[in-house]
């Protein structure tokens, strides 16, 4: 089974098409990364999959059923989406925020239950945020904040998690921390992870499956080793690179050329 | 300190404040009303004090309590849905729209409670829709506030010019337009009361939904909320509540802005308490301002609209200048 199957899908906003005639699948139980240059529509595609915007044409199936056939809370129990920028209301603590993850399980008559409590504790434990539970979200560092928002998505206990650039604005150690977390979620909990990343190197290291977008459609898809080569980098990013092998993990590693001669003499400093 | 006290204790304190303020409101005014007069309420004594109570003090107290709470609630709803801390029924032109509509129907000779109320509803809705359309490009806080403020100014100038030309026909409306809780008929109160209660209860019923919405549209949608539906319901309730407020007391400014901010300060993220607190604080504010207006230039009365414009205007300037982040988003 695939998590998503797209058939001739048209995606865009305000009647402006961004991606056209998309036909591809996103595999179940894998880490899939959407790649592409700025403005290629990868975030728009991700948010469309997350039911944040309407499809302009074609059909999207989620777990073999049309995406728009799900009721809102039903979909939220099956997939969680973490936007790129999140702002918690002032005065909200970590635990209060993560508890919102149980919203799809609550109805007017069934409020906070023991199951909800357990899911929140698990989410806090998995993201290593138990000790932060009473801290205000607004007082957290960038990396902590990101872990807390992931905990919110985990509390949803959905099988699929979509994330829009979860490592933006983080320094390298926190980028690794977040991506390790995604890896553990996938390998230990069997979650399907679909994310937009723009660090190509880390995308190649963590992705099982890459879908690269260019020119309004899927340019290439497959495992990182099948997808990333010199031609790919030239066509998708307009960048001349040498592709070598990551000495640690054997995944593709791109070393870009600069556009200028860097060995020119610098002007004398005064 | 405000964190030490449990939210429900603060709510109870506010609830207790209402009868105390009401008692003061019954006593204070040009015609002396004593403690024994208040206790004798309901008896058919025809003393001067009893007439003052029945014809003036009781209606204005009830109107202040009701109008304060609906405006406080409407202000909070507007602020939540638009994510604009400066949003309120007066700043988003909803009050001005309702007022203009009421003046128009009065001009054409309709004076029944039903026409009065439906005019307020229609006017409030039209103003809300126009502000929404004007600020639809991205929902920018700055655009919305400016669009609302300029539309409010436009509506009030229409209202003013109609009054200037038709002074004679609109005598009644003139006083109403200054925003006052005095001189209102109890008939209008009893007609609107059940609807106000229904609308307010509806707000409390969608408390969890509104709280989830405060995480942002995208997260709320990801959590399985029909964001569009909730926003539509919330704005509709806010417009209806504002229209009721205007129909009863005229365009009263700043309660809808002040009460939610005070409630936020008092209750923080205790969301249900914040909703209920906005309504209660609205009542407390409006009734206190009315009592203050009766005392400040005694024996002359300053209408509550004027009192609030002075307090609220200062608060508005404080909000804009102290919270510099307000216009940045």
A71: closest chain B residue by CA: B224
Q: Verify whether the Cβ–Cβ distance B212 to A76 is below 8 Å.
A: no
Q: Is the pLDDT higher at A15 or at A247?
A: A247
Query: How far is the alpha carbon of B119 from chain A, nearest alpha carbon, in Å?
Result: 34
Q: Which residues of A touch B268 (CB under 8 A)?
A: 91
The pLDDT tens digits of the residues spanning B177-217 come to 777 777 777 788 888 999 999 999 999 999 999 999 999 99
Please count the other Cβ atoms lying within 10 Å of the Cβ belonging to residue A141.
10
| CB B282, CB B70: distance < 8 Å | yes
Q: What is the pLDDT of residue A175?
A: 95
- The answer to whether A89 contacts B215, with C-beta atoms less than 8 Å apart, is yes
Answer for the pair A102, A112: CB distance below 8 angstroms, yes or no: yes
Assigned domain for A60 exists = yes
Q: Which residues pair with B189 in a beta bridge?
A: none
C-alpha to C-alpha distance for A85 and A104, rounded to whole angstroms = 21
Compute the distance between CA of residue A236 and CA of residue B232 in angstroms, rounded to an integer: 42
DSSP codes, A191-241: -EEEEE---HHHHHHH-SEEEEEETTEEEEEE-HHHH-SHHHHHHHH---E
In the numeric block, which tokens belong to residue B54? 């029945």
CATH number, residue A260: 3.40.50.300
Band (B175; pLDDT cuts 50, 70, 90): confident
- Pairing status of strand A16-27 against strand A241-245: unpaired
Does some domain include residue B2?
Answer: no
**Distance from the A140 Cα atom to the nearest Cα atom in chain B, whole angstroms:** 17
Contact at CB, A152 and B214, closer than 8 angstroms: no
Residue A267: band (very low, low, confident or very high) from pLDDT cuts 50, 70, 90 = confident
**pLDDT value, residue A163:** 97
B329 and chain A in contact, CB less than 8 A? no
User: Which of B310, B277, B198 lies closest to B7, judged by CA?
Assistant: B277
Supply the range of the domain harboring residue B271.
Answer: 7-327
A89 and B269 within 8 Å at the Cβ level: the answer is yes
Confidence of residue B155 (pLDDT cuts 50, 70, 90): very high
Residues of B in contact with A156 (CB under 8 A): 222-223
* Burial zone of B315 (CB within 10 Å; 0-12 exposed, 13-18 middle, 19+ buried): middle
Q: Are A40 and A213 in contact (CB under 8 A)?
A: yes
Q: Which residues in chain A touch residue B202, judged by CB atoms under 8 angstroms apart?
A: none
> What is the number of domains present in chain A?
1
Is B41 a domain residue? yes
Q: Residues of B with CB below 8 A from A79's CB? A: 222
Under the banding of pLDDT at 50, 70 and 90, the label for residue B323 is: low
Residue numbers in B near A104 (CB within 8 A): 223-224
- Closest-approach residue (CA) in chain A for B80: A89
Given a cut of 50, whether residue A228 has pLDDT beyond it is yes
Distance CA B286, CA A87 (A): 33
Tell how far CA A22 is from the center of its chain: 19
pLDDT band at B45; cut points 50, 70, 90: low
pLDDT reported for residue B327 = 45
The token duo for A123 is 């989410």
Q: Which residue(s) pair with A217 in the sheet?
A: A214
Q: Does residue B71 have a pLDDT over 50?
A: yes
Q: Is B323 on the interface with A (CB under 8 A)?
A: no
| B1 within some domain | no
Q: Is the pLDDT of residue B328 over 50?
A: no
- DSSP, res A78: H
Judging contacts by C-beta atoms under 8 Å, the chain B residues touching residue A76 are: 222-224
Average predicted confidence (pLDDT) for chain B: 87
Whether A128 maps to a domain, the answer reads: no
| Sign of the C-alpha dihedral computed for residues B133, B136, B139 and B142 taken in this order | negative
Backbone angles phi, psi at A27, to 5 degrees: -70, 150
CB A157 within 8 A of CB A176: no
Q: Do A153 and B208 touch (CB under 8 A)?
A: no
Do A170 and A9 touch, CB atoms closer than 8 A?
no
According to the model, what pLDDT value does residue B293 have?
92
Find the range with the poorest average confidence among A1-10, A139-148, B166-175: B166-175
CA–CA min distance B290, chain A (Å): 33
Q: What is the predicted pLDDT for the residue at A270?
A: 64
pLDDT band at B321 (very low <50, low <70, confident <90, very high): confident
Whether A153 is in a domain gets the answer no
The verdict on a CB contact (< 8 Å) between A72 and B221 is yes
Find chain B residues with C-beta within 8 A of A82's C-beta: 222
Nearest-angstrom CA–CA distance, A161 and A79: 6
Other beta carbons within 10 Å of B33 = 20
> How many domains does chain B contain in total?
1
Element (H, E) at B131: helix B113-134
How far B159 CA lies from chain A's nearest CA (Å)?
38
- A191: Cβ contacts below 8 Å, ≥ 6 apart: A29, A158, A159, A160, A161, A185
Query: Which residues of B, range 197-216, sit inside 8 Å of A by Cβ?
Result: 205, 208, 212, 214-216
Q: A89–B222: do the CB atoms touch at under 8 Å?
A: no
Percent of chain B with pLDDT over 70: 94
Q: Among A191-195, B40-44, B85-89, B116-120, where is mean pLDDT lowest?
A: B40-44
Cα separation, A141 vs B92, whole angstroms: 36
Distance (Å, whole) CA A62 – CA A74: 12
Mean pLDDT of all residues belonging to chain A: 92
Mutate to test the interface with B, among A75, A82, A100, A150 (most CBs of B within 10 A): A100
* CATH number reported for the structural domain that contains residue B13 in this entry: 1.10.3470.10
CA angle B128, B132, B137 (to 5 degrees): 170
Partner-chain residue, chosen from B205, B223, B269, that has the shortest CB–CB distance to A104: B223
- Is A110 within a domain? no
User: Which one, of A118, A116, A114, A103, lies nearest residue A73 by Cα?
Assistant: A103
Chain A residues with CB inside 8 Å of B269's CB? 89-93, 96
Mutant choice from B223, B263, B264 vs A, greatest count of A C-beta within 10 A? B223
Closest Cα to residue B240, out of B114, B108, B95? B95
All residues at 6 or more sequence positions from B200 whose CB lies less than 8 Å from its CB, including other chains: B69, B70, B73, B241, B279
- Dump pLDDT digits (tens) for A14-71: 777 789 899 999 999 999 999 999 888 999 999 999 999 999 999 999 999 999 999 9
Cα angle A166-A133-A180, degrees, rounded to a multiple of 5: 35
Please give the pLDDT value at position A105.
94
Task: Provide the residue range defining the domain that includes A43.
Answer: 1-70+160-168+192-270
Per the domain annotation, does B119 fall within a domain?
yes
Q: Is the model's pLDDT at B324 over the cut of 60? A: no
Q: How far is the C-alpha of B172 from the C-alpha of A242, rounded, in Å?
A: 84
What does the pLDDT average to over B92-100?
Answer: 92
Pairing mode of beta strands A209-214, A31-36 = parallel
Q: Helix/strand/coil (H, E, C) string of B31-56?
A: CCCCHHHHHCCCCCCCCHHHHHHHHH
Q: Which region holds residue B102: left if phi is over 0, alpha if psi is between -120 and 50, else beta?
A: alpha
Rounded CA separation B289/B249 (Å): 14
Q: Does B136 lie at the interface with A, CB-CB under 8 angstroms?
A: no
CA–CA gap between residue A65 and residue A150 (Å, rounded): 26
Q: What pLDDT, on the 0 to 100 scale, is given for residue B146? A: 87
Asked if A140 and A132 touch (Cβ cutoff 8 Å), the reply is yes
Residue B309 has pLDDT above 90, yes or no: no
B224 touching chain A per CB within 8 A: yes
Write down the ipTM of this complex: 0.90
Consecutive H or E run containing A57: strand A57-62
Distance of CA B65 to the CA centre of its chain: 10
- Per residue in B100-143, pLDDT tens? 998 898 888 887 778 888 999 999 999 988 988 887 665 677 78
- CA dist., res. A191 & res. A189, Å (int): 6
Given CB atoms, is B269 within the 8 Å cutoff of chain A?
Answer: yes
| Facing residue for B215 by CB, picked from A74, A100, A108 | A100
The two beta strands, A16-27 and A2-13, are antiparallel
- Assess if residue B105 is contained within a domain: yes
Mark yes or no for CB contact A156/B216 under 8 Å: no
Interface touch B212/A100, C-beta < 8 Å? yes
Selected for mutation to probe chain B from A89, A109, A146, A163 (highest B CB count within 10 Å) is A89
- Take residue A237 and report the two structure tokens written for it: 């990013």
pLDDT at A58: 94
> How does pLDDT run across B222-278, given as a tens digit for each residue?
999 999 999 999 999 999 999 999 988 888 888 999 999 999 989 988 899 999 999
Whether B218 and A83 lie within 8 Å, measured CB to CB:
yes
Q: What is the pLDDT of residue B86?
A: 84
- Is there a domain that residue A12 lies in? yes
* Nearest-CA distance B287 → chain A (Å): 30
Residues in a beta bridge with A10: A57
Question: pLDDT band for position B326 (50/70/90)?
Answer: very low
Tell me which residue in B214, B219, B224 faces A86 most closely, judged by beta carbons. Answer: B219
* Nearest residue of B to residue A111, measured between CA atoms: B208
């Amino acid at each position: 089974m695939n998590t998503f199957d797209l058939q001739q899908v048209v995606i865009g906003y305000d009647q402006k098409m961004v991606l056209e005639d998309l036909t591809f699948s996103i595999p179940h139980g894998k880490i899939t990364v959407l790649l592409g240059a700025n403005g290629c529509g990868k975030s728009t595609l991700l948010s469309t999959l997350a039911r944040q915007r309407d499809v302009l044409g074609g059909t999207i199936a989620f777990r073999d059923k049309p995406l728009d056939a799900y009721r809102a809370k039903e979909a939220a129990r099956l997939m969680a989406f973490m936007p790129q920028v999140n702002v918690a209301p002032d005065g909200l603590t970590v635990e209060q925020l993560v508890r919102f993850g149980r919203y799809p399980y609550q109805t007017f008559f069934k409020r906070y239950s023991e199951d909800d409590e357990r899911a929140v504790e698990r989410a806090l434990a998995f993201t290593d945020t138990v000790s932060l539970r009473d801290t205000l979200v607004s007082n957290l560092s960038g990396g902590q904040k990101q872990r807390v928002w992931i905990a919110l998505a985990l509390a949803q206990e959905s099988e699929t998690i979509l994330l829009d650039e979860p490592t933006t604005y983080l320094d390298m150690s926190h980028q690794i921390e977040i991506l390790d977390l995604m890896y553990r979620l996938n390998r230990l909990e069997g979650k399907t992870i679909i994310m937009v990343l723009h660090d190509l190197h880390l995308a190649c290291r963590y992705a099982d499956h890459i879908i690269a977008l260019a020119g309004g459609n899927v340019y290439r898809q497959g495992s990182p080793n099948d997808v990333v080569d010199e031609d790919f980098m030239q066509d998708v990013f307009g960048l001349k690179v040498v592709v070598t092998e990551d000495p640690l993990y054997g995944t593709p590693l791109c070393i870009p050329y600069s556009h200028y001669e860097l060995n020119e003499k610098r002007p004398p400093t005064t | 300190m405000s964190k030490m006290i449990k939210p429900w204790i603060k709510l109870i304190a506010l609830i207790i404040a209402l009868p105390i303020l009401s008692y003061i409101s019954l006593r204070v005014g040009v015609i002396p009303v004593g403690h024994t007069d208040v206790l004798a309420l309901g008896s058919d004594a025809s003393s001067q004090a009893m007439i003052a109570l029945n014809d003036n003090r009781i209606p204005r107290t009830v109107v202040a309590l009701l109008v304060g709470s609906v405006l406080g609630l409407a202000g909070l709803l507007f602020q939540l849905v638009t994510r604009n801390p400066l949003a309120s029924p007066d700043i988003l032109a909803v009050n001005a729209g309702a007022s203009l509509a009421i003046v128009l129907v009065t001009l054409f000779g309709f004076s029944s409670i039903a026409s009065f109320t439906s005019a307020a509803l229609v006017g409030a809705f039209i103003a809300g829709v126009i502000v929404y359309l004007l600020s639809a490009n991205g929902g920018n806080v700055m655009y919305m506030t400016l669009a609302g403020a300029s539309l409010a100014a436009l509506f009030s100038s229409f209202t003013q010019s109609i009054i200037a030309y038709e002074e004679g026909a609109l005598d009644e409306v003139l006083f109403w337009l200054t925003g006052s809780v005095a001189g209102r008929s109890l008939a209008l109160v009893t007609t609107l009361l059940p609807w106000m209660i229904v609308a307010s209860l509806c707000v409390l019923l969608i408390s969890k939904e509104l709280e989830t919405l405060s995480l942002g549209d995208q997260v709320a949608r990801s959590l399985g909320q029909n964001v569009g539906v909730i926003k539509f319901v919330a704005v509709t309730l806010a417009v209806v509540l504002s229209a009721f407020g205007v129909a009863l007391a005229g365009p009263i400014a700043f309660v809808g802005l002040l009460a939610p901010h005070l409630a936020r300060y008092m209750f923080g993220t205790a969301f249900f308490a914040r909703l209920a607190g906005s309504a209660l604080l609205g009542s407390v504010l409006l009734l206190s301002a009315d009592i203050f207006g009766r005392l400040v230039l005694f024996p002359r009365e300053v209408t509550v609209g004027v009192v609030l414009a002075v307090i609220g205007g200062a608060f508005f300037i404080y909000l804009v200048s102290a919270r510099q982040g307000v216009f940045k988003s």
